[in-house]
Amino acid sequence: MGDEIVIFTVYLQNEKKASENTVKSYQRDLRHFANYLEGIGIYDVSKVTRTCLNSYLLFLEKEGKAASSISRMLASIRSFFRYELNYGRIRKDPSELIRGPKVRKNEPTVLTEEEVARLLGQPDGNSPKEIRDRAMLELLYATGIRVSELVGLRTDDLNRSLGCIRCRDSVRDRVIPYGKEVEQRLQRYLSAARPELLKGKESEALFVNCNGSPMSRQGFWKIVKHYGDKAKIQGDITPYSLKHSYEAHIRDRRQRQKQPETA
């Protein structure tokens, strides 16, 4: 089966134009599968059956592989067998009806309003970095936008006279208002912090890192993790925590507004 894996990876590189990381991932998964098959006496790809595949999935579970890893490995195997079938090397795809494990999506941590206040209050210094971080955290929580939208904001997406931002996507633009406190944070960032961070560079990006380049999603994740640890908040704090906390708090406030007053 080793030769077939080599041919398949060449196909991925030359015809599918897959990235180097993708090719390596397929190679790793398929070699693991091939080693298992050799261990049970199967060397010919045409001899692999649905029963073999189900046994392999059970083997992976016993090895302690996570459901997400097993699903990825099964996806690699399916791609390989589809290729083998399309090129006439096998008559039937044994992976066609195989079901992988259900991958549970981790629910993001939803913070209490007190925890949000504690988190937002962590960058309270006067350094350009802390001023920027406070503005980003406040804007994310006040608007409930996605992290990709936050780091993708340009300076011309900000309308300070109306107190709103414009988020662009492939379908439509959304205009989202923010409050007075956020406006104060943005004003301070734009006047006192952003010029320092840019170090003479020019950039359309609203939020920039310490090198003057546009802030990345990974960079902002590190910022949230840092201040979450500093605020001693339990649980896995991510940028999505602020987005989902915003949505939960908005629902709670609307519910409270709907409740009739008691005498």
3-state secondary structure of 164: strand
Task: Look at residue 262 in the predicted model and tell me its pLDDT.
Answer: 46
Residues 6+ apart with CB under 8 A from 228: 119, 237, 241
Cα separation values, 191 from 48, 186, 187, Å: 66, 8, 6
Long-range contacts from 173-181, C-beta under 8 angstroms, 24+ separation:
176/143, 176/144, 176/145, 177/143, 178/139, 178/142, 178/143, 179/142, 181/138, 181/142
pTM, two decimals, is 0.58
* Number of other CB atoms surrounding residue 8 within 10 Å: 22
pLDDT for res 97 = 84
Rounded mean pLDDT for each run of 10 residues along the chain, 263 residues in total: 90 84 88 94 92 93 84 90 91 88 65 87 94 96 90 94 86 86 95 95 95 93 91 78 79 68 46
Residue 170's pLDDT is: 58
| pLDDT value of residue 232 | 86
Task: Give dist(CA 99, CA 149) in Å, integer.
Answer: 35
**Torsion of Cα atoms, 84 then 85 then 89 then 95, to 10°:** 70
Q: Say how far apart CA 158 and CA 128 lie, in whole Å.
A: 19
- Provide the pLDDT for residue 197: 97
What is the pLDDT, as a whole number, of residue 263?
Answer: 42
- How many residues does the structure list for the chain? 263
CA distance 221 to 257: 34
